[in-house]
Every structure is written in structure tokens, then in C-alpha cells.
Amino acid sequence: MPSYQEPWKKPFLSTPRFSDAKSTRTLESLCKQAPDLSKPGVITPERIVSMTSRGAGLSLLYGFQRVDQPILTALQALADEREVVGQMQALFSGKPVNFIEGFDSEQRAAIHPATRDIFEQEVVHDPAVRQLVEAEIQKLRSFFSENTFDTLLFIGIGGSELGPHAILEALKPYYLPSKKVHYLANVDPDEMSVALRGIDLTRTLVAVVSKSGTTLETATNEARARHAFEQIGLPSKAHFIAVTCPQTPMDDLTRYAAVFHLFDFIGGRFSTTSVVGGVLISFLCGSNTFIEFLSGANEMDRLALRMDIRENLPLLLALLAVWNRNFLKLPTTAIVPYSSALHRFTAHLQQCEMESNGKCVDRFGHLVPFSTGPIIWGEPGTNAQHSFFQLLHQGSDIVPVEFIGFKESQFKEDFLFKGTSSQDKLIANLFAQALALAIGHINENPNKNFAGNRPSTIILGKRLDAKTLGSLLALYEHKVAFQGFLWGINSFDQEGVQLGKLLAEQILKVIRARRSGQEDTTANPVGGRLLDILDDVTALRGL
């Protein structure tokens, strides 16, 4: 029996493909008459209010997008036709949604909602998974309640660093007194030299984070960090903890004071709410803050299972992104938080979106005849207004923007200057930019004319605390998955990253052989031509 007859695979494989869906045809025709936001009377206060969805502590304002009621109805129809909520349900129930039908692929679950499903209303319904997750949280609680270190050196890369780093930058007001952190991701030796300068190793805990337990950059940085401890006579084991999957080379209590487990069913870039983020948050802010963070994410998880796109914020955000990408044909999206605390958040989302949806084959391994994941980029505002916003307002390409802002500041230490607080200025700028992009500004001088009709979405929260941050993170995690479900691609593997890891091993083999004066002619799994060229290149560099 072909595997696609497994009932849970039906929404993935038996629904009309994105390019064949009836609602795709409707949307193609509707986009010819998409509302022109610059026309007088289109952007009104009533529109902004009626085009706002709320949930899990966030409001999503989509009145500045080029949509109207018929378009929203067709987007809902697209979500229904592609059965994307059914696909999300399969993800929540732990089915191996990471697959390509008929080809060798990872065949893994991507059940990150389980990492925060520890509250009253369960969303995952798998007692075994719940037990695993709760046991790790308990381990974190007891380990960090006895922690006496004041500095954390966090070693990890990609999915094992970007999300947790972004989150901890955003939680600074909640740090326990005297706790400090340094991050080491790159294998650039200078990054390590900078990190090691000025830290007191006797008071430092090192968290080595790697899902696979084999990533070269992380292993290299760990080895050098251990060397630094041992050089001054400190037993490294007492200072090192590991975060990894069971049974990897790092799952080894003879080398670490503690090992925390994430699991095969949690993807690297979706692991921020697992012990990967848990170690950092527990060290810097305490376990209660970690639980609050999880509760926000869990609240958003519940919304991600709603059928109505006005209630399902992640699905709405995903559909608006697909509308911009596939119908208005816009190739990039800027994510601009009006909050310095979120200064690493766009970098994390860049990975989450581009690693997940930077794919060009569908679930059957066929090349897709449409565009998939856009390029994601951005920096915090208002700083960004003084750099790339010129292009957003008057450039030859239209770039949809996702603005993120908060009504209140984190520290609530504000100052009135010229009659307004800094937070007033921040949020007023956010709205002013969204409005100016939409309605433009007519001037007879073409150089000072702003055509407008440039779309954006505003995501608004009350205050950036741990709970809101969890909810914001989950909003984007599910946005990414929903886009993949709509396009019918597999958002959960990363063959492009694996190729990089393989190439690095190969080139290092060549360098190692050269250093020791022997040529290494062993088999090359990435194909002879690539290695031959790499070989020539390293020779040219005189390595």
C-alpha cells in the first residue's frame, strides 16, 4: 500500500497543489484589482480597526496590506483547500512531517509545541513526550537552583544559538543580579579570543549546545575553551554542561557536570523553547521566567489550530506573506522591530524562514512552478529609518514590512522631552512609517514624491516580557510552517546546511593531509568535481 494512503498524510499529499488550487486561480484574478492603499479613502481608522486580529497577548494589524474582503475570503479558501490546519494538527500530534514522499528524507517529527505543552490545556496529547519534556524542565530547575557561577559561556551555532541568543538579548530587564553571558558561535579564533579576555574562568559555566553533538565549529570551540580551563589548573568537567540529543557523542556524563536533552523530534531552529533556550534563560533569569516564556508560546500554539484565519494569527501572517510573495510577486520581506531588545530577533527569523522555506521541490520531490520563501532581512527601528528606509519608500523594488512594537517600554524608565516620552516617539514612528509607506506623499518634484501603496503588517504587544516574547516566537515558528504547508514543501529539513558541513569536512581532510605531508585520496561523498576544485583552491591559497 503506498504510504500516502496513511490517513495523516492526506492533507499533505492528496489536496490540490498550490499551483492547481481553485483559490489560487481566484487570488490570481483578484490581485489585478488589489486595493491601492495610496488612493484617498482606502486607509481609514475603521479599516485599521476592523482589520485587526488579537490573541495570545498580541494584535496583528493588517489594514496596511493590499487586501480587501474578497481577497481575505479567497485566502481563507486557500488555507482550507490546502488543509493547512490539518497539516498543523499532524505536526502537533507528532507525525513525521519532515518527509519527501518517495525519496530518501529525514522522516522525523517536528513537535516543538511539545516543549511548552506543560500547562493545563494540552495541545500535543502525548503522555510519553510530555513526560520527557517535564523531566528535562525539572532537571533544569534543580541544577540552576544550586548554581553558583556568575558567567555563562554559551557555545553553539545556527539553530543552537540564534534563537536563544535573540531571546536572551530581549530579556535583559529580567536578568538576575550579577549574571553575565558570552556567546561563541563562529569558529573564527578571534571570536574566542575576545570572549576569553576579561572573564574569570573560576566563576564561569560553559554550556555546549549541539543537537547532533558533532558540529565542527562547536566541537572546536569547546576544545579550545576546555584547554583554557585546564591551562590554569581548573578541572573542566565541573564547569561544562552539555545540551544535546540522547546518545550523541556529547551525551557523556564523564565529560560534563550535567547533560540536558533535547530530542530528535525537535528541529534545531525550532528548539528555542526546549532546554536549548531553557539553559540560558534559567541561568540568566531563573526558571520561573523560562516557564512564563513557555506559557506565552503555548498560548500561541493553541491559536495555531483554529480554522478561522481571523483567529489564527500565525496562519493569517503566513497567508499575507504568501499573498505578497506569490500574487503581488514581492521577493523580499523586511522584519523591523521597534524595540532594541529585539535586535537579534530578525537574524533568528531569517534562519527560521530561509532555512525552512528556501526550498524548490515539493513533497513529491517535483520542482515547484512558483516562488517559495522570500529573502528575510531587517534591523530595529527607528535606526533603520536612518539607513535602508529610503529604499523602502522610494526604491524600485517594493518590500513588504512586518513591524513589531510595544505600547510600553521594558524598564519603564522613560523621560519627557518636548512633551513626549521616548516610547511615544518610538511607537509614533512605527505607525508613521506604516502609514507613509501605504498612502505615500504627493509632490510635484519627482525626487520628493512618494508613490505609496507599499504594504506592511504591524504586530503590537503591550510590553515585551517573557510571556509576550514566547508568544511572538511561536507566532513566527507557525507562520513559517504554515507557509510551507501552503506551498506543499518540506520546511523541516536543511540539505543546504548539511552540504556545508560535508564540504567543511572534505576540505579539512585535504588541509590535514597537506599539513602532514600526505595526500588523502579517500572517497569524496560530495562528488569528485567539487573536491577537485576545492583542492585547487586550497593549493592556490598555499595551504
Which of 70/358 has CB closer to ligand G6Q? 358
Short-list 21, 12, 6, CA closest to 492: 12
For residues 163 and 276, is the Cβ–Cβ distance under 8 A? yes
Site membership for ligand G6Q, residue 211 (CB under 6 A):
yes
> Which of the following is catalytic: 179, 343, 425, 501?
501
Nearest-approach distance from CB 262 to ligand G6Q, in angstroms: 9
Q: Measured from the CB of residue 218, what is the shortest distance to ligand G6Q in angstroms?
A: 5
Instruction: For ligand G6Q, give the closer residue by CB, 218 or 483.
Output: 218
**Considering the rule CB under 6 A, would residue 374 count as an interface residue with ligand G6Q?**
no
> Does residue number 497 form part of the binding site for ligand G6Q (CB under 6 A)?
yes
User: Out of 9, 269, 393, 467, which residue is the one contacting ligand G6Q (CB under 6 A)?
Assistant: 269
Q: Which residues pair with 54 in a beta bridge?
A: 59
Instruction: State the virtual CA torsion across 428, 47, 306, 484 in degrees, nearest 10.
Output: -70
Which amino acid, 200?
D
Q: Cβ 504 to ligand G6Q, closest distance in Å?
A: 11
In whole angstroms, the minimum distance from the beta carbon of 539 to ligand G6Q comes to 28
Find, among 326, 368, 312, 323, the residue nearest to 86 by Cα. Answer: 312
**Total number of residues that touch ligand G6Q (CB under 6 A):** 15
Select the span of 30-38, 206-214, 326-334, 409-417 touching ligand G6Q (CB under 6 A). 206-214
How far apart are CB 494 and ligand G6Q at their closest, in Å? 5
Binding string, residues 139-158; x marks residues near ligand G6Q by CB under 6 A: ------------------xx
Q: How far apart are CA 300 and CA 312, in angstroms?
A: 9
In the bound state with ligand G6Q, the residue whose beta carbon lies nearer, of 212 and 340, is: 212
Shortest separation between residue 440's beta carbon and ligand G6Q, angstroms: 40
CA-to-CA separations, 172 to 177, 348, 466, in angstroms, rounded:
11, 17, 10
Q: Which of 268, 277, 440, 484 binds ligand G6Q (CB under 6 A)?
A: 268
Residue 139 sits at the vertex; the CA angle it makes with 301 and 145, to the nearest 5 degrees, is 105
CB neighbours of residue 387 within 10 Å = 10
Angle (nearest 5°) at CA 270 between 7 and 363: 40
Considering only residues 414 to 473 of the shown chain, the ones binding ligand G6Q according to CB under 6 A are: none
What's the rounded Cα separation, in Å, for the pair 48 and 166? 30
**Distance set, CA 17 to CA 82, 315, 514, 526 (Å):** 7, 18, 51, 32
Catalytic pick among 355, 477, 478, 479: 355
Nearer to ligand G6Q, 208 or 430 (CB): 208
Quick one: which of 26, 52, 212, 383 contacts ligand G6Q (CB under 6 A)? 212
Beta carbon nearer to ligand G6Q, 497 or 502: 497
Under rule CB under 6 A, residue 274 binds ligand G6Q: no
Segment interacting with ligand G6Q, rule: CB under 6 A, options 26-34, 176-184, 266-274, 444-452: 266-274
- Note whether 215 binds ligand G6Q by CB under 6 A: yes
Look up 501 and say whether it is catalytic.
Answer: yes
* Nearest distance from C-beta of residue 404 to ligand G6Q, angstroms: 22
String of DSSP letters for 456-494 = EEEEEES---HHHHHHHHHHHHHHHHHHHHHHT--TT--
Cα torsion 425, 429, 430, 435: sign:
positive
Q: Is 242 or 336 the residue whose CB approaches ligand G6Q more closely?
A: 242
In the complex, the smallest distance separating the C-beta of residue 250 from ligand G6Q, rounded to whole angstroms, is: 9
Report the alpha-carbon distance of residue 65 to residue 80 in Å, rounded. Answer: 21
Q: Which stretch binds ligand G6Q (CB under 6 A): 211-219, 397-405, 479-487, 534-542?
A: 211-219
Q: Is 386 a catalytic residue?
A: yes
Question: Which position among 160, 339, 423, 491 is part of the footprint of ligand G6Q (CB under 6 A)?
Answer: 160
Distance of alpha carbon 342 from alpha carbon 359, whole angstroms: 27
- CB within 8 Å of 346: residues ≥ 6 apart: 335, 336, 337, 376, 377, 378, 379
From residue 301 to residue 340, what is the string marking binding to ligand G6Q with x (rule CB under 6 A)?
Answer: ----------------------------------------
Only segment of 25-33, 263-271, 316-324, 513-521 that touches ligand G6Q (CB under 6 A): 263-271
Rounded to whole angstroms, the Cα distance separating 319 from 325 reads 10
Phi, psi of 361 (to 5 degrees): -120, 150
Stretch that binds ligand G6Q, among 261-269, 292-300, 322-330, 482-490 (CB under 6 A): 261-269
Q: Side by side, which strands form the sheet with 204-209?
A: 180-184, 151-155, 204-209, 240-244, 258-261
Q: Are strands 456-461 and 258-261 parallel, antiparallel or unpaired?
A: unpaired
With respect to ligand G6Q, which residue has the nearer C-beta, 211 or 325? 211
Report DSSP state, residue 323: I
Total residues found in the chain within this entry: 543
Nearer to ligand G6Q, 58 or 100 (CB): 100
| Cis amide leading into 52 (omega within 30) | no
* Cα–Cα distance for residue pair 109/95, rounded to 1 Å: 5
- Least Å distance, CB 291 to ligand G6Q, is 24
Kindly tell me which of 236 and 356 has the beta carbon lying closer to ligand G6Q: 356
Please give the Cα distance from 517 to 429 (Å, whole number). 62
Nearer to ligand G6Q among residue 221 and residue 468 (C-beta): 221
**Which is catalytic among the residues 32, 386, 412, 418?**
386
The residues of the shown chain that bind ligand G6Q, judged by CB under 6 A, are 157-160, 210-212, 215, 218, 267-269, 355, 494, 497
Q: Which amino acids are annotated catalytic?
A: 355, 386, 501
